[in-house]
Amino acid sequence: MLAFTASSDCFSPRAYRPLSLTVVANRVPIRQTDDGWETSVGGLTTALLPVLEAQGGTWVGMGEEPDLPERQEFPADDPDFLVRRVPLSTEELDGYYYGMANQILWPLSHYLIQHLELKDEFIETYRHVNERFADAVLEETEGGEDEVIWIQDYHQMLSPGHIREERPDATIGHFWHIPWPAMEVFRILPWARELLRGMLGCDLIGFHVEEYVDNFIESAEVLLGAEIDGNVIRYEGHETRVEAHPIGIEVGRFKEMAHDPSVEQEAKKFRERLGTDHVVIGIDRLDYTKGIRSRMLAFEEFLEENPEYHGNVSFFQIATPSRTELESYQQIRREVDEVVGRINGRFARESWVPVNYRYRTYTQYELCTFYRAADAALITPLRDGMNVVTQEFVTATQDGVLILSELTGAAYLLPEALQVNPYDQGGLANAIKVALEMPTDEKKERLKGLKQTVETLDVHNWADKFLSALAK
């Protein structure tokens, strides 16, 4: 059975819909389960699958399981859209995904260059895999006027250039979900110019915020000598527009979940189990960019400086396993384990455990109960393209305080959050105290602004606006 998480009627009838949409992403939006097929949970699937369901189209992504067919229509009995897999060998997956994408582009874009592994074999495999993705797109499209190709993220910087070579008139968009770093950081890459040229095969490139737009434009101007006219880049006879299109969450569904009486009951039980007057939460993939360890150290400093909170506050941190094959992710796991053990060893007494740390995955329903139960959310990445956990918390909470890293895309959009520099341990420790002691009126006032913004960012609007801009 194919269980769709979003339905096509969430897509506004006024929305621009190309006659044929081809989405290109690292992963396909469906996965096989014991009972059949299910859609993956995530912003991208939620936003784009309804468009494909409503009007047909194709989703191109890597084939991770060798026995699945390359082309598969869904739903099988009355197909709406096609899934086109690009099967990858172990070597291809290692070089393209674990190598180039996650050990080069990911740390570089997050300004964490100590994690860079600049290996030639990574870019070589990345080139080859991007070409294979581009070939799959060319096979699945005909080059018609109303055909739109929408590529997602840092896994596919070179495929726009390949598609453009074969299809000079194609309409190609790209959305980059992580930060685009300052030009001086981007140019560290030995292949910076080649990668930029690939991206400039697009008609429209989207980022979450203007800062990344500016960084990209400066990279094209300085490194390629491209001509710049406002937000238009002219290079080798082709024009590329670069715009900010901040992503949102599925606000309606989160609101509905948060207002479900059973969520309220579970939230109450959760607080009772923790047994403290104050609850602070953190929810992240376990990634060195998310600032989990620094945040733990700040919590430790908060406990050192505020003995009156001993026995009276719980920090509940979920770290969802992620990219576990990579040494840098195994290392951050060990470091977080070590610091959690130390804090609890130092401060725990009788029934009080200051840090409740969970290295596992929860359902969205469970996440919603945690958002609902928390007095404050500590979302303090060292760098983050947007960070949509902020938006989920803001939507679900009734009176919680958002403590937010100023080095995230979300910080540009959510000025009412309590903003902190994630590298400033003392400032962060102080922000926890400020959040826990914030007067109710101030909390409500801040939340009002935050909720208004998050409503407008809805992920369906995001897809709608990007596709409309691409069609211009």
User: Residue numbers of the site for ligand GDG (CB under 6 A)?
Assistant: 41, 43, 177-178, 247, 283, 285, 318, 320, 361-364, 367, 384-389, 392
Hunting for tokens 């874009």 — which residue is that? Answer: 109
User: Using an 8 Å Cβ cutoff, are 215 and 180 in contact?
Assistant: yes
Min separation Cβ 355 and ligand GDG, Å: 17
Residue nearer to ligand GDG on the CB measure, 367 or 431: 367
Min separation Cβ 149 and ligand GDG, Å: 19
Min separation Cβ 127 and ligand GDG, Å: 24
Min separation Cβ 318 and ligand GDG, Å: 6
Residue nearer to ligand GDG on the CB measure, 140 or 392: 392
Residue nearer to ligand GDG on the CB measure, 43 or 173: 43
Residue nearer to ligand GDG on the CB measure, 367 or 436: 367
Hunting for tokens 């006024």 — which residue is that? Answer: 14
**Tokens, residue 248:** 């949102």
Hunting for tokens 């819909």 — which residue is that? Answer: 17
Min separation Cβ 151 and ligand GDG, Å: 14
The conformation of residue 57, written as its DSSP 8-state character, comes to E
Residue nearer to ligand GDG on the CB measure, 312 or 356: 356
User: Using an 8 Å Cβ cutoff, are 188 and 113 in contact?
Assistant: yes
Residue nearer to ligand GDG on the CB measure, 294 or 387: 387
What's the CA gap between 379 and 291, in Å, rounded?
8
Min separation Cβ 214 and ligand GDG, Å: 18
Helix pair angle (440-456, 389-396), 10° resolution:
120
What's the CA gap between 464 and 51, in Å, rounded?
9
Min separation Cβ 24 and ligand GDG, Å: 16
What's the CA gap between 166 and 135, in Å, rounded?
10
| CB contact burial 167-182 (16+ within 10 A = b; e otherwise) | beebbbbbbbbbbbbe
3-state DSSP call for residue 365?
helix
Residue nearer to ligand GDG on the CB measure, 59 or 175: 175
